Chains A and B, each alone.
Chain A
Amino acid sequence: MATLTASPAAASHYLEAIERAERDRAHEPAWLRQARRSAAEAFGRMGVPTVRDEEWRATNVAPIAGTPFVTAPPASVPAGEAVGFQVPGLAGPRLVFVNGRFAAELSATGVRAAGVTVSTIADAIEHRPESVEACLARHQDYAGQPFAALNTALFEDGALVTLADNTVADEPIQLVFLSTATPAPAMSAPRVLVLLGSNSQARLVETFGSLGPASGFTNAVTEVVVGGGSVLEHYRVQRESESAFHVGRTEFRLGRSSRSSSYAFALGGRIARHDAVAVLGDEGAECTLNGFYLAGGSQLIDNHTEIDHARPHGTSHELYKGILGGRARGVFNGRIRVRPDAQKTDAKQTNKALLLSDEAQINTTPQLEIFANDVRCTHGATIGQLSQDALFYLRTRGIGLDDARSLLVRAFATDVTGRIGLEPVRAELDRLLASRLPGLLAQEVRR
């Protein structure tokens, strides 16, 4: 295969990794090799973004460009440690991946419902390539998405979830991606494809975690196709170590009168970026993109969302909230596009950040691009500190200052976590937040 032409920004270690991957995947079907090749070329042209790229101007990923990540080595994780990253009380199929590779011994692949399949994507490509050919890596043009291109070029494994028409997956499906601490900085690129036929229903939980102080780079892509009349509930919990790098992209393609609601929680990462994208590609689709992030120390958490109203009568709800302490930075960019054909669109975007310290920062940008005239689109952003009045009120009732602060911060989070439909996930998030908050509040630099 021809050598990749590359911009200087495409750090050479990524190109080497791509070329090695191409050699290893000679057995893959031609269409996939072609898709990977064009993704590799797209990445080669774009390289790792810099702050000069519009989509990355608030998030400097120079450390990701500059670190010579190697492909994460295979590793085994004791079941006792892996279990800490599963949502307690969530029965049903579970696929666990360690450093981007399937860990059968940690997984539970049995699926009860007929018409539902849960498998690894590597297995599907090898044994049932026709099951993924129509959708895998087919929707992306990679413009402005170098990391998604890199994922397509590099991914080794991940999950494939399919639901036939008129199927209900009664048990939530859980995907867990773990990274271990490695001697040399390592990267993994998990890939998930979820295909819901028409009038089907599924709940999906994705968790990204680190074992110990892993400082690797996770570059994840999840594509979800929601067929006409189908209903999807999706949860993404990113709780990697505070020294890890994480870039993720989740795309939802919604069919006619389908509904998806998604929650993206970002708690970990030294630099963590997530793009949540929803394309309302047919009439009457409804999507919810909610998110919550918590950052302290010198963490940088970036959430980009994009809702593309392409057809009439679409509805979108968006609520992103974040708590920033220490010297942490948050970025929120919410784009809503209403195409000329998408009349009667109803879109609402809300973004709120709570700053606990003087040195924490948030950059928030709504981007409304409205090309239809009979639509309702609202957006609002607020940035605030803990209310002194509320703190005083609580204290006059005997509640100590630390408890009062913690109560108010949790109340701020409850606005999002309280909407979680899947009870075990809500309980897990409450637990994760409760365990992080004391440390975050202790970092407070008093105003």
Chain B
Amino acid sequence: MIAIRDSGFGIRDSNAGVNDIMLEIKGLRARVGGKDILRGIDLAVGTGEVHAVMGPNGSGKSTLAGVLAGRGEYEVTGGSVTYNGRDLLDLEPEERAREGLFLAFQYPVEIPGVNNAYFLRAALNAIRKHRGEPEIDALGFMALIRDKMSLLDMDQALMSRPVNDGFSGGEKKRNEIFQMAVLEPKLAILDETDSGLDIDALKVVANGVNALRGPDRSAIVVTHYQRLLDYIVPDFVHVLSGGRIVRSGGKDLALELEDRGYGWLETEAEPA
């Protein structure tokens, strides 16, 4: 218990100066459909760090992920988000993506009629163009994705199908991480990517995420369960409850949550 308290924001402070801050969220408040969901989030993600955001259903985890990616229905009512020195909230979703932010959807969208390979190449080229790199042609693209497909154990046939259309739940999640592997974001936000995955698929997905870890990339892993964090070991764990981060710590916090559930934190958060 004491250890957990000590490993709160103290760790952040002790790391300051070691890693540059890539993403800084300050006092973020957001509303969905007239209802306040985020009630003042403070979170700083350093370059090269993996942060897990955990919390019970309805705590605002997915809203946080959606706000960071620029989902239109979410109304930001206060606070700020700075990403690599820029005001993230001022950017359109596509601008965020081109600046290296990636959201792996909890529920990937099915897009009938849009070919998966065509879509992903268009996305990659939009990002490359933004970086001042030459566009990649269909042949070069197929060569580029071959390794990433085997990394994610993706069936080649999925590439010629419409985006997520008729994919199984596991195939959709794998497709998200596959897209991430191809687009190579600087900041990946994984919104409950583990939900609905069997253990084999979970390992594959975790492999994909770990392959992208590096000193210049960060990730926010949003999850309800500790299980995913056995495979994607986070540097920090935060607990979201009632639209606020009520506890932060190291990876051990996730284990404690696994043992004790969220109830004790929600009770503690009540007066706030």
Contact = CB atoms under 8 A, between A and B. Distances in A.
Interface of A: 387-390, 392-401, 403-404, 407-408, 410-412, 414-415, 418
A389 B126 contact: no
A392 B126 contact: no
B146 interface: no
Given A392-B71, A403-B122, A397 B113 contact: no
Given A398-B94, A398-B97, A399-B94, A393 B111 contact: yes
A390 B109 contact: yes
B111 A399 contact: no
Interface in B5-48: none
A393 B105 contact: yes
B105 A398 contact: no
A404 to B, nearest CB: 8
Nearest to A418: B113
> Which interface residue of A393, A401, A415 has the most chain B CB atoms within 10 A?
A393
30 contacts: A387-B109, A389-B109, A390-B111, A392-B70, A393-B109, A393-B111, A394-B111, A394-B119, A395-B92, A395-B93, A396-B70, A396-B103, A397-B120, A398-B94, A398-B97, A398-B123, A398-B124, A398-B127, A398-B130, A398-B183, A399-B94, A399-B122, A399-B126, A401-B92, A401-B94, A407-B122, A408-B114, A411-B113, A411-B114, A415-B112
B94 A408 contact: no
Given A389-B109, A390-B109, A397 B114 contact: no
B113 A415 contact: yes
Contacts of A389: 109
A387 B165 CA distance: 14
Nearest to A413: B113
Interface residues of B, number: 31
> Which interface residue of B94, B97, B163 has the most chain A CB atoms within 10 A?
B94
A393 B104 CA distance: 10
B119 A397 contact: yes
Contacts of A407: 114, 119, 122
B108 interface: yes
B191 to A, nearest CB: 11
Nearest to B128: A398
Nearest to B99: A398
Contacts of A398: 94, 97-98, 123-124, 126-127, 130, 183
Contacts of A387: 109, 111
Contacts of B119: 394, 397, 399, 407
A382 to B, nearest CB: 12
A387 B124 CA distance: 22
Contacts of B114: 407-408, 411
Contacts of A411: 111-114, 162
B97 A397 contact: yes
B263 interface: no
Given A392-B71, A392-B93, A411-B111, A397 B105 contact: no
